[in-house]
Structure formats: structure tokens, C-alpha cells
Amino acid sequence: MRKIIIIGATSGIGRELARLYIQNGDRVGITGRRAFLLDELREQFPLQLVTECFDVTGCKNIPHLESLIQKLGGVDVLIYNSGYGQPTEGLDWVVDRQITLTNVYGFVEIVNYAYNYFRKQGRGQIVATSSIAALRENSHAPAYSASKAFISMYMGSIYLKAGRLKKRNPEIDISITDILPGFVKTKMARSKKLFWEAPLDKAARQIFNAIQKKKRKVYITHRWAIIAWLLKWMPFFILKRLA
């Protein structure tokens, strides 16, 4: 029985992943801002689920995380799934600040802690939910795309760091998995009709399988790898016309 922590699991992908891990027989610790949603899930699975209510944009992320680890009795996999994004007509500082605090500052603080925790423990896996939006510039949500690019770059960099660490200390094994979803049918997907929008259960299952296999990077659903390739090689002048 492994011990899984999911940061951001009151709804959407995080909540669905929690259910999958519980079905897999694991013990799960979940976090979120809305206590009643955390309690609702805990009441369904009192023997396998523990909760910690906090907002990753606050100043007490590490004490809350340590409390959750203590409740679980340790941690084997940490999944950073908290995320915020909102398209704006102009540049809205209130929106951009919230995006940066959630997708950058909260992410770095918690993942940094997890890496050092797993280094001392000698093993562990860090997973983060980035986005296909990380791959190129985006006029509709600049801060969101930039923040998700930050996540992917950070995850790729600590993947290399963990590899160097393993070469020096073969007994230390830290896995890093970067998840890049396209459109998934969640509350964050505000539009009524989106291109290649995946059902939540299908997306969560593919993410679960990728984590189990300790993939370095995975596009969700898998066909979004085609779009990723096109975006990476698209000349900027074409991107400018599409924008």
C-alpha cells in the first residue's frame, strides 16, 4: 500500500485521481481550499483517505504539507495538481497575480520541499500537472501559459538533477513526471465546445497509468502529442496570424 498526496483534489482531475488511487488500494492524502468537498470524499473512504484544508497561495504550505504527511505516516508520491487560469481581454493584474501565486509560487514551494524530502527518504515520485498551453505563447492568457511553461521547465530540470543525484548515489531514486493535458471536461474548461475535449474519467485514467509507469512526460489525452509537435515547430509568424 503506497501513500499518495494530491495537492488540489476538491474537484476535476485531482478528485478523480484520488478515487483511482483509493480503488487501487493506496492510502491517499488530499488538499484543497473547500473543506466541505474534502470532508465529503473523506466520509466515503474514511479508512483510506486523510485531508488537509489549505490554499497554496497562502504562507503556511509547508506546515500543512508536513501535517498531511504525518497523518498518512509518510509519502511515496506527491502530485501537484493545484492550478488556476482565466483568459482576459486585457492584462488583469488580479487574475495574473492569482495565477502566479498558484501555478508558480505554490508549486515551487511544495515541489522543492517534496524533492528534498524524497532525497532524505531515498526514493519517491513527484508529479505535476502542467498544460499543452506551456508549449507556446498565448495572447488569451499570457500568465497562464507562462506559468505552465515554468512548471514544465522546472520539472524537466529537476528530472536532470535527480538523474545526476542517482549517478552519484545509486540508492537514491526520485522519479519526475510532467503531465501536459489538452482540453479536459472540467470546471476550468469554461467554453461549451472545445477541440479534442477529453472526458474526465478517460484523462484521469491516462494520467494514473503514466504515473504508475513513471513516465517523464505525457500528453493527455495521448493524441495531443500531435498538437505538441506542431506547436513546437510552428514558425512564429504563423502563430501570430492564428492569435
In the β-sheet with 217-220, what is the strand arrangement from edge to edge? Answer: 49-53, 27-32, 3-7, 77-80, 123-129, 173-181, 217-220
What does the buried/exposed string (b/e) look like for 52-91 if buried means 16 or more CB atoms within 10 Å of the residue's CB?
Answer: bbbbbbeeebeebbeebbeebeebbbbbbbbbbbbeeeee
pTM: 0.92
* Ranges of each domain in the chain: 3-242
Contact 42, 233 (CB under 8 A): no
> Tens of pLDDT along the chain (243 residues)?
899 999 999 999 999 999 999 999 999 999 999 999 999 999 999 999 999 999 999 889 999 999 999 999 999 999 999 999 988 888 999 999 999 999 999 999 999 999 999 999 999 999 999 999 898 888 889 999 999 999 999 999 999 999 999 999 999 999 999 999 988 877 654 555 667 688 899 999 999 999 999 999 999 988 878 888 888 888 888 777 776
CATH architecture, domain defined by 3-242: 3-Layer(aba) Sandwich (3.40)
Residue type, 203: A
Contact 162, 116 (CB under 8 A): no
